[in-house]
Structure 1
Amino acid sequence: MSKTIFVSNRLPVTVQKKGDELIVSKSIGGLATGLKSFHEQANNLWIGWPGLSSDKASLDEQKEIKNQLTKNYNCHPVFLSQKDIDLYYEGFSNRTIWPLFHYFAEKTEHDIKTWQSYQKVNQFFYKNIKPYLEDDTVIWIHDYQLMLLPQLIRNEFPKVKIGFFLHIPFPSYELFRLLIWKTEILEGLLGADLIGFHTYDYVRHFMSSIRRILNLTHQFYRIQYNHRTISVDAFPMGIDYEFFANQKSSKAKKPKEKIILSVDRLDYTKGIVERLKAFQTFLKRYPKYRTKVKLHLIVAPSRANLETYDTLHRQIEKLVSEINGKYGTFDWMPIWYLYQSFDQEDLISYYKQADILLVTPLRDGMNLIAKEYIASSSDYKGMLIISETAGAASELSEAIIVNPNDAENIALGIKEALEMDQEDMISRNKIMHERLKRYNVEFWAKEFLSRLNAVEHQVISKDDDEYLDINDLKQHYQKANKRLILLDYDGTLVSFTKTPSQAYPSRKLKNLLTDLANHEKNDLVVISGRDHETLERWLGDLPVNLVGDHGLWHRAKGDAWKKTLTIDNSWKPAVFNVLERFVDRMPGSFIEEKSYSIALHYRGSEPDMMSMKINEIKDALFSLKGSTLLEIQQGNKVIEIKDQRVNKGIASQLYSSQKAYDFILVAGDDTTDEDMFKEQKDAFSVKIGFGVTLAKKRIETVKAFRTILEALNQIK
């Protein structure tokens, strides 16, 4: 039976030594909660550092810890020395990767010793994992401390399924390129089959670095590398919604002042200093709120042994003192400051007391505190103010979004939250509650693991014979008496443009198609995903057969447009419910119900967002499919779900079955053209561009394929 191995720098348990006694305590929150139900399955395992330096535990104690963690917690400890912790963790991980990935290039250190330690510890993790590996093992690796590990595993175990998730931002190429060891980091990550990030911004940045540094292209966020296909996607991490929503507050009733809550661990990425200055600006600009509001500033100690953090701590204390001194009165202090950690129960009480949560990190991978606050506000009357540079902001668009560097903007945001109409506030919060409830942390983990388990290793051929032999094509074309030419439009006859409307055919292309179609031996069909009205406007005056809407409509040259079949719509309600889940994770998208289909639009979203979602939607719909005939087709910034009988393959068969053709050429560039390649098994099938394909041959560019068509046109 296959097993799943979770790997992270820290285990979901912590081992402490008090005297001669070893004490094991479970971790709470975030990752530990999300993976709990999967990790606790009998055959699964979690590998990581237990929190105790190997210098402080004898070999016998290490053996005892290993036995206890394996037996009672499904965990395998990786014992790191204090030197490892100093160089690999505090050094390269937190003085090089952490600041650079959070856009603090000026704080980034490049030290060959810490880099060597990072390599060594990643190798040591692999050594600990190796005894548990088999060909059917599934491995999910977490976070920036272990970015070399996927490739280390892949080198010796090519068949295992490897997932990697980065819990911090991935920076833009302009920042990432500053890293001396950027190539090694990218190659390490590309050992994985599935690479996950919190947001599509991070996905886009990663793909940009892959393209520019390793010269690798992608199709729908699928990368071809070392004869494998690697998928990259966004999986915004959720929280244990029910836990936070159902907790009761242990504190007394709310104080008379309006409470603005700020909760962070001590870190320069959190924007605490900028937040304090913004609160000072608020008190200055809106004096009527003095004595009526109070900022509860909770800062949890973190990395106190690093000079940068100690300096930040002193800076925060100085600012708090200055603001309280300037604006405080005998019976009112504007800031109530606590430099300490709180357990989750106490934090929930603070969440429930607060009228506003002020979360303004300068850069943050996700920020689960924002989600925890919303879930804890069960009366829907707390308002979230969140930085636009926090990963969670893309999901929580109903909150007040601010620029973390703009004190005036934050001050205005505080005023807006304080003065917000209660009905508006409740309405916004209900929307966010529903979203967090649906996409909770367990769903996040399940979704990632489902995608990872569905991975099928696809070997990409790089042989020269995969490319079209033009002379061979010309010889067969010349000998044939009855020829059928089936051509996709976008990406095959014309290159992609910034906007679809710019891809109209040039006079040169129309002349080429006309000449090919007018040859007495030829029948030419343009089969496109574009709507048939557009095809009529662009190509309707040519002597060609046209197929639009991925095969729903067709028109023989000179005839009227005809519909291919009558559609059964009984599947719509179930599909609509499934698509709602996707909309929650795709800001700017919306669902449109048409007479014969349901469309998921993303014009207001990131342009490439939906391209990578086609297979995911198919998986989600598969359980609903049953005996129905559903298919998903991609259009112009839209994905349509409709009867699977509507596809280019079946449309191509309408024409290929009309005559006994002795030559058929089929050409296309994307996933929707694979149906044609599948149906036309005896044809010269040509894929334009890269990517896994059923086509027999490949041409790299539209320009090269147009040259081939021009060469065929010269044959009489």
Structure 2
Amino acid sequence: MSKIIFVSNRLPVTVKKHESDLQYSKSIGGLATGLKSYHEQGDTIWAGWPGVSSDDLNEQDMQTIDSELREQYNCLPIFLSEEEIEQYYEGFCNETIWPLFHYFTNIAEYNSETWEAYKRVNQKFFDSIDPIIEPNDTIWIHDYQLMLLPQMIREKYPDTQIGFFLHIPFPSFEIYRLLIWREEILRGLLGANLIGFHTYDYVRHFLSSVRRLLGKEHNLYKINYETYSVQVEAFPMGIDYDFFAKSSGTDNLSSEARDFIESTRTVQNIISVDRLDYTKGLPERIKAFKQFLQKYPEYREKVRLNLIVAPSRVGVEAYDELKSEIEGLVSAVNGQFGTVSWMPVWFFFRTFSQEDLIAFYRNSDVLLVTPLRDGMNLVAKEYIAARSDYKGMLVMSETAGAASELGEAVIVNANDYGAIAAGIKTALDMPDHEKIERNKMLHRRISRYNVKFWADEFLEALKNTAESHVETKDLVDIKSEPSMVETAYMKGKDRVLFLDYDGTLVGFKPTPDQARPDEELRSILSELCADPHNTVVIITGRDRDVMENWLGDLDLYIIASHGLWLRQPQGEWKMTMSVDNDWKDSVRHVLEMYTDRTPGSLIEEKEYSLAWHYRQCEPEIGIQKRNELREALISITQSMSLGILEGNKVLEIKDTRMNKGHGAHQMLQTKDFDFIFGVGDDHTDEDLFIELPDDAFSIKVGAGNTNANYRLKSFRNIRQLLKRFIELSRKEVGEAKEAKEAEAGK
């Protein structure tokens, strides 16, 4: 029976060891709350680090923790050492990903050692959950610590439903491109069926990076990737609305909370609640409050800022310096504006219970939350929910993810102290009827879209994404021994292998001339040709001169220019049809005009065709100009026997009679082949697939609709399969040699 596996860096249960005693405490965080109803079911398990270093545990401790967490909490502990925590979490996660994704490029570090640790720990997470994964399981992975895990799972378990949610911002392409390991991270994430973000800004940034770095387009936020599709959507995370909105007494409040409530009788209170982090804009917030007191002196001795800062990464120099800076700014404001009976800023550097925080919320006139960058910011939603009298007002920065949902709040620029000061005044002066009107709309929204709704919606979308993806073509299984195609290969005595070149045998390069065959490819082709039972055919849209130069010394057939030219091994080139170039001048003029207008585009002049490449263009501009160019070409070629062929980031104009199906037909007439194999990756190869007989092994490389019978993910998988063919040929030669020697021995 299928189950749900949640995976996050931390478990919803924290384990602490005091001498020989092991203590377990449940988390009250938003994620644990949101997934609680699912996790309490019997068919779920949550995998993650339990919060205690494996260096502090003996073997018996780890066995005890494992047993207790599995049996009592439905959790699978993944133990990390001090070195792993330091290198993977404190290192790559907090020194590279966290600052970069929050736009603090000046402090992001790029360390190959911490990157290697990040890969190792992601692998460790996979190895830990591997034994419990079963076909058709649903796996929901959370946050930036595990961005490589989706692809690891996909590689071994293609039938699982994999979801990933990022709880921090995804930066714009201009920021993300600074990351050294940018492609690896994207490929890791694209192992998921569904990728979720807090806002559509983050969705847009992610899709832009995928397009620019991996060359993958999207259609309605769906990416056709390898052999499956990936849906990308926004799911703004909610809170446990009922918990914060319910009435509560004062019996369990701390002395600070009681003193705070008492003080509200004499002043208006502004509250700020954050953990200590440079992304939160805390120094800027204090400076803005100072400007508020300077600009609006009538509020002195009538308003107070309550700055609650939860300790974070204590002992880390940068965070200790931030705390010192905050303390200095608070002292300066209090020293400049304070009186014997009034201190303008109260600074609490400590954590408070949920009950205390709700009391602070309910007795504060304004919540001031102005992060420089924040993935969501649930404090803003907690404050709104707690003010069930609809009398509080929220002032928040536009760079918090929640700002896109909470438009009725007073939205400000986190870097504009004057705007924040004006926003505070607006919130304090707002008439009750306006506050109530705004808050009622906010309450309706966050009460409906609470944290349970968020979890339900994501899992339902993941289910629908998986169900809507129907793979019409079987994958060639290159992991089994032997696969169906290998069995047929071994039986074949007259085999023909039609091999497309670009995108099939080699990966795509920025310019066509950079896709020269490497030594591995030349070795593969040479060994395939060495088997007398094989007829190897390179079938490509490239010019004959290029292919002659690159592969002409090998003992293979070459069909070039989309079937126009055919060359036998070491033979002369022969045209398969009669064509002319009378049309080229008029078309070239149009291509040159668009090339001049589109930076990064280029024209490739082939013997009997012209190709316009836009791989190096800005994606949006390239697509726009491609569409314009296609319309312009249609208008001038409609009276000619020309066709416009759209390939991978290229438009090619050629005679419509020239196609790979025509070229393959010429070869198939030469012999009665008993094993027919054809591979290609784009629209130009569909004519080849159509021409091949039904019992042929036609393979599409990558995603997209196709006439091929099978599918593989990339050119690397094609090379892997061709190497298997070579191994089978060697085995066949070896067996024949042994049989011959045995016969001679008789």
Q: Quick check: TM above 0.5?
A: yes
Does the Cα contact within 8 Å between 2:226 and 2:703 map onto a contact in 1? no
Q: CA deviation at 1:304?
A: 1.3
- Matched AA of 2:405: E
How many Å separate the matches in 2 of 1:159 and 1:277?
54
How many Å separate the matches in 1 of 2:281 and 2:354?
22
- Matched AA of 2:233: D
How many Å separate the matches in 2 of 1:303 and 1:507?
60
Q: Using a 3 Å threshold, how does the CA distance of structure 1 residues 460 and 101 change in structure 2: closer, same or farther?
A: farther
- Matched AA of 2:120: K
Name the counterpart of 2:300. Answer: 290
Map residues 111-122 of structure 1 onto 2, 5 A cutoff: 111-122=111-122
How many Å separate the matches in 1 of 2:637 and 2:18?
83
Q: Which runs of 5+ in 1 are unaligned?
A: 472-495, 517-689, 698-716
Match of 1:366 among 376, 383, 386: 376
Q: Using a 3 Å threshold, how does the CA distance of structure 1 residues 276 and 691 change in structure 2: closer, same or farther?
A: same
Structure 1 residue matching 2:204: 3-state secondary structure = helix
Deviations 1:325-365 (A, max 9, x none): 00000000000110001111111110001100000000000
Map residues 96-495 of structure 1 onto 2, 5 A cutoff: 96-248=96-248, 250=250, 251=258, 252=261, 254-454=264-464, 455-456=466-467, 457-459=469-471
How many Å separate the matches in 2 of 1:163 and 1:342?
33
Q: CA deviation at 1:29?
A: 2.6
Q: CA deviation at 1:693?
A: 5.8
How many Å separate the matches in 2 of 1:206 and 1:448?
18
How many Å separate the matches in 2 of 1:506 and 1:51?
60
- Matched AA of 1:23: Q
Name the counterpart of 2:668. Answer: none
Does the Cα contact within 8 Å between 1:291 and 1:332 map onto a contact in 2? yes
Does the Cα contact within 8 Å between 2:78 and 2:128 map onto a contact in 1? yes
How many Å separate the matches in 1 of 2:704 and 2:227?
10
How many Å separate the matches in 2 of 1:142 and 1:410?
33
Deviations 1:625-682 (A, max 9, x none): xxxxxxxxxxxxxxxxxxxxxxxxxxxxxxxxxxxxxxxxxxxxxxxxxxxxxxxxxx
Name the counterpart of 1:78. Answer: 78
Q: CA deviation at 1:43?
A: 1.5
Q: CA deviation at 1:306?
A: 1.6
Q: CA deviation at 1:508?
A: 9.9
How many Å separate the matches in 2 of 1:80 and 1:691?
37
Q: CA deviation at 1:207?
A: 0.4
Structure 2 residue matching 1:8: 3-state secondary structure = strand
- Matched AA of 1:356: V
Does the Cα contact within 8 Å between 1:249 and 1:352 map onto a contact in 2? no
TM-score (norm. length: structure 2): 0.63
Is it true that 1:64 corresponds to 2:64 in the alignment? yes
How many Å separate the matches in 1 of 2:265 and 2:243?
25
- Matched AA of 1:446: D
- Matched AA of 2:294: K
Does the Cα contact within 8 Å between 2:239 and 2:382 map onto a contact in 1? yes
Q: Using a 3 Å threshold, how does the CA distance of structure 1 residues 4 and 506 change in structure 2: closer, same or farther?
A: closer
| Paired residues, number | 500
Does the Cα contact within 8 Å between 1:15 and 1:51 map onto a contact in 2? yes
Does the Cα contact within 8 Å between 2:225 and 2:703 map onto a contact in 1? no
Is it true that 1:26 corresponds to 2:30 in the alignment? no
Structure 2 residue matching 1:105: 3-state secondary structure = coil
How many Å separate the matches in 1 of 2:100 and 2:408?
30
Q: CA deviation at 1:18?
A: 1.4
Q: Using a 3 Å threshold, how does the CA distance of structure 1 residues 275 and 155 change in structure 2: closer, same or farther?
A: same
How many Å separate the matches in 2 of 1:507 and 1:230?
33
Does the Cα contact within 8 Å between 1:229 and 1:460 map onto a contact in 2? no
Structure 2 residue matching 1:175: 3-state secondary structure = helix
Does the Cα contact within 8 Å between 2:228 and 2:703 map onto a contact in 1? no
Q: CA deviation at 1:247?
A: 3.3
Deviations 1:392-447 (A, max 9, x none): 00000000000000000000000101111211111000000000011000000000
How many Å separate the matches in 2 of 1:247 and 1:84?
44
How many Å separate the matches in 1 of 2:200 and 2:249?
36
Q: CA deviation at 1:112?
A: 1.0
Structure 2 residue matching 1:106: 3-state secondary structure = coil
Deviations 1:362-402 (A, max 9, x none): 00000000000000000000000011000000000000000
Structure 1 residue matching 2:158: 3-state secondary structure = coil
How many Å separate the matches in 1 of 2:178 and 2:75?
37
How many Å separate the matches in 2 of 1:67 and 1:506?
66
Q: Using a 3 Å threshold, how does the CA distance of structure 1 residues 291 and 130 change in structure 2: closer, same or farther?
A: same
Does the Cα contact within 8 Å between 2:198 and 2:401 map onto a contact in 1? yes
Map residues 606-685 of structure 1 onto 2, 5 A cutoff: none
Map residues 463-612 of structure 1 onto 2, 5 A cutoff: none
How many Å separate the matches in 1 of 2:637 and 2:115?
58
How many Å separate the matches in 2 of 1:225 and 1:231?
10
How many Å separate the matches in 2 of 1:19 and 1:33?
31
Does the Cα contact within 8 Å between 1:238 and 1:439 map onto a contact in 2? yes
How many Å separate the matches in 1 of 2:453 and 2:235?
10
Q: CA deviation at 1:30?
A: 0.5
- Matched AA of 2:327: E
How many Å separate the matches in 1 of 2:187 and 2:148?
8
Q: Using a 3 Å threshold, how does the CA distance of structure 1 residues 193 and 506 change in structure 2: closer, same or farther?
A: closer
Q: Using a 3 Å threshold, how does the CA distance of structure 1 residues 36 and 315 change in structure 2: closer, same or farther?
A: same
Structure 2 residue matching 1:362: 3-state secondary structure = coil
Does the Cα contact within 8 Å between 1:249 and 1:348 map onto a contact in 2? no
How many Å separate the matches in 2 of 1:506 and 1:83?
59
Name the counterpart of 2:720. Answer: none
Q: CA deviation at 1:249?
A: 5.2
Q: CA deviation at 1:307?
A: 1.2
Name the counterpart of 1:645. Answer: none
Does the Cα contact within 8 Å between 1:229 and 1:459 map onto a contact in 2? no
Q: Using a 3 Å threshold, how does the CA distance of structure 1 residues 415 and 446 change in structure 2: closer, same or farther?
A: same
Q: CA deviation at 1:460?
A: 7.8
Q: Using a 3 Å threshold, how does the CA distance of structure 1 residues 154 and 409 change in structure 2: closer, same or farther?
A: same
Aligned-residue sequence identity (percent) comes to 56
How many Å separate the matches in 2 of 1:339 and 1:49?
27
Q: Name whichever of 326-335 and 222-231 sits farther off.
A: 222-231
How many Å separate the matches in 1 of 2:113 and 2:267?
52
Structure 2 residue matching 1:80: 3-state secondary structure = coil
TM-score (norm. length: structure 1): 0.66
